[in-house]
Amino acid sequence: MPVRRWMRNDGIKWLCAAGVLIYLASILLMPYSQIAIYSVWEKEMYAFRPAFVLDNYARAFSNELYRRVILNSAIVATSVTLVTAILGYALAWYLAMYANRWRILLLFLLIVPLWTSFLLRAYTWKIILGRNGILNSFMMDVGLIGEPLPHLLYSKFSISLALIYIFLPFVALPVYAALEKMPRGYLEASADLGASASATFRHVALPLSMPALTAGATIVFCLSFGDFITPVLLGGTGDLMISNVIISQFGAAFDWPFGSALAILVLLVVLGLVALLRALGQWSARGAA
Amino acid sequence: MSANSTSAVNLVKVGKDYGQHTALAGLDLAVDHGEFLTLLGPSGCGKTTTLRTISGFEQPTRGDIYLDGQRINDTAPHRRPVNTVFQNYALFPHMSVLDNVGYGLRFDGVTAAARRQRSLAMLERVALTAYADYRPDALSGGQMQRVALARALIKTPRVLLLDEPLSALDARLRRELQLELKRMQRETGIAFIYVTHDQEEAMVMSDRIAVLEKGHMLQLSTPEDLYENPRNLFTATFIGASNRLEGRVVSVEEDQATMMLTTGERITGRAGPELRSGGAAQAIIRPDYMEVTATPGKAENLVDGQVEDVIFIGAQRRVVIRRPDDSRLECLTTPEEVATSGLEPGGTPAIGMPSARLHIFPSAEAD
């Protein structure tokens, strides 16, 4: 068949491979190796000198501030990921199993915010959570509180809330797709064999949707760990996340080697946690089966 | 009507509506212990709905369902000691064959070790021990079907429900598995309720067949009785091959009726229910009981026709007769008869229909 022959054509194959390779080299490999190289250089006044020193890493580890900021980011990213995974899964389950004729509308509502700017979506929460914001005004109007709650905004809470809101579709959509294509016969067969609804969920539905859940959760984790806009807009002075610090090293502090070392550390932490998440996903999929 | 304690399953006036549409109209059905009962009918006749009210995946709109004399209408599906072999098997794709088979035992408090042992024993019974560690998608259709059967039977249900389990398989494999299913049913002594639209399949396996049409049970009997003594036009034409002759009823006397065919012949046969003098009627006869011969002798109910074709179908010959009104009759006869009577296209032999084998029913338009 002509199409088969065309697909087996070596020229086409290499052309496609070249595209991927060029992309990987220019978007991933080059910048990362540049950062890795910078991270062992030295800063001298307003210039960087090529070297091979680990001073930058030592500084990141020894300084309490940077440890705290990395920990801060990890806490925010982990809690955002956990809450998003649970809420996103519940939402996807509702959409796939119960929404029926509302399904299209609800999916649409879930996707529409993705068309607006990230900045705008984060900023919206400032309006909702602010001292004179929608939430405080509402609670005061109905007499729930006497004066505005001060800690809604500029805290880890507000950062997390905004990130959860923004990243919810990243879990809900892939999990919905997985649940949607899962034949209902599996659930019936499980019930038929004596499994309660919760046992069916644990043994059948969850393992079958686990790959989608871990994929979504991984994306959410990476994005929220590296986010720098939300902390600036909604975070307090003590709620800096690691990306903010890295940006300031490349900007105001003009210390590219140290910024690079921090970036490499973040990369390692994220890779480690992603590996953990994957292992957890595989373990639960296998353990349940 | 009270629950019949001798029945494995007893449906009492079970009805199911979907909005305006009645899928099941007050079905009464008692399934005996150790019986192979088939619900037979075309799609939309209510057979799958019946099965699903027993498994619990459909709630009947009316009526009661008893299992071993206990009413189970309000029992959740996973608490009913009933298991199902699904049409598309519904094997769990993320579990091995062994884990699929042992799945149901988890919920009976069976330990992992005992589960494994019993699953292996069950796999041996369906000759799939070698595939214990395979994933279901690595199996052929017939193997998946056997895994599904093993997975349901390992629970030793009071009743096993089978929803067209062989419909996705090719004809040869289907015949092989029909016999295997029948054997498993005999060995286990578990009552099987089998849903199919394939009358041949129903005939091969069933102790009794319930013929369903449009939510009504038309006849419930043994395959042989359904074949020899159909009580309505639908059963007569749905089960087995049949010839059909149209006409009007001349007279009805107890169980005998005389009708005048549209082609002018008068024939007598067994009167079906609700047959009225003067009403439109159809006479039904199996090809096996037709008599086509050059020497009429004592043949009854002779009708006109011309041989159109003589077809070789193995040990028998199928003779196709063309009637004056251009309808066709099929007759099965022996090669000897073909030879001695000189049956060949264009010939006009005597065509007889024994009145004991001829069934006269009111035409379908009447209902």
Tokens encoding B150: 């093993």
3-state secondary structure of B23: strand
3-state secondary structure of A9: coil
Evaluate whether residue B261 is within a structural domain.
yes
Of A170 and A70, the one with more pLDDT: A170
Evaluate whether residue A5 is within a structural domain.
no
Segment (H or E) for B350: strand B350-352
**pLDDT over 90, % of chain A:** 38
Mutate which of B54, B72, B85, B94 to disrupt the A interface (most A C-beta within 10 Å)? Answer: B94
CA distance B153 to B158: 10
Q: Comparing C-alpha atoms, which of B306, B308, B307, B309 is closest to residue B324?
A: B306
CA distance B259 to B248: 5
* Residue B252 vs residues A192, B270, B300: alpha-carbon distances, Å: 51, 9, 18
Cβ contact, residue pair B155, A196, below 8 Å: no
CA distance B357 to B334: 19
CA distance A159 to A240: 10
* Residue that finishes a domain, picked among B233, B254, B269: B233
Give the closest-approach CA distance of A212 to chain B in angstroms. 14
- Pairing assessment for the beta strands B159-163 and B191-196 based on DSSP bridges: parallel
Domain count, chain A: 1
Does residue B259 carry a pLDDT above 50? yes
* Residue A253 vs residues A23, A34, A43, A46, B94: alpha-carbon distances, Å: 31, 19, 11, 10, 53
Instruction: From chain A, pick out residues whose CB is under 8 angstroms from the CB of B97.
Output: none
Q: Specify whether B72 is located in the same domain as B184.
A: yes
Instruction: From chain B, pick out residues whose CB is under 8 angstroms from the CB of A196.
Output: 78, 107
Q: Specify whether B17 is located in the same domain as B100.
A: yes
Tokens encoding A91: 């939402």
Tokens encoding A88: 């996103």
With beta carbons less than 8 A apart as the criterion, state whether B350 and B298 touch: no
* Residue that finishes a domain, picked among B189, B212, B233: B233
Does residue B246 carry a pLDDT above 50? yes
> Domain of B179?
7-233
Question: What is the model's pLDDT at position A2?
Answer: 58
**pLDDT over 90, % of chain B:** 87
With beta carbons less than 8 A apart as the criterion, state whether A121 and A196 touch: no
Evaluate whether residue A56 is within a structural domain.
no
Task: Judge residue A234's burial from the number of C-beta atoms within 10 Å of its C-beta, 0-12 exposed, 13-18 middle, 19 or more buried.
Answer: buried
- Output the DSSP codes for A138-182: HHHHTTS-SS--TTSSSSHHHHHHHHHHHHHHHHHHHHHHHHHHS
ipTM value for the complex: 0.86
CATH number of B264's domain: 2.40.50.100
Tens of pLDDT, residue by residue over B203-227, are 999 999 999 999 999 999 999 999 9
Domain count, chain B: 2
Q: Which amino acid is at A80?
A: V
CA distance B203 to B226: 9
Evaluate whether residue A15 is within a structural domain.
no
Of A252 and B123, the one with more pLDDT: B123
Please give the DSSP secondary-structure letter assigned to residue B128.
Answer: -
Question: What is the model's pLDDT at position B2?
Answer: 45
CA distance A176 to A174: 5
Mutate which of B78, B101, B158 to disrupt the A interface (most A C-beta within 10 Å)? Answer: B78
Instruction: From chain A, pick out residues whose CB is under 8 angstroms from the CB of B109.
Output: none
C-alpha dihedral, A79 to A81 to A87 to A89, nearest 10°: -150
> Domain of A200?
64-288
CA distance B121 to B99: 13
With beta carbons less than 8 A apart as the criterion, state whether B116 and B129 touch: no
Question: What is the model's pLDDT at position A7?
Answer: 62
Instruction: From chain B, pick out residues whose CB is under 8 angstroms from the CB of A285.
Output: 94
Q: Judged by CB atoms within 8 Å, which residues 163-222 of A form the interface with B?
A: 183, 185-186, 188-196, 199, 203-204, 207-208
Least confident of A33-47, A141-155, A193-207, B170-184: A141-155
B363: left (phi over 0), alpha (psi -120 to 50) or beta: beta
Tokens encoding A192: 């038929």
* Residue that finishes a domain, picked among B233, B257, B277: B233
Does residue A228 carry a pLDDT above 50? yes
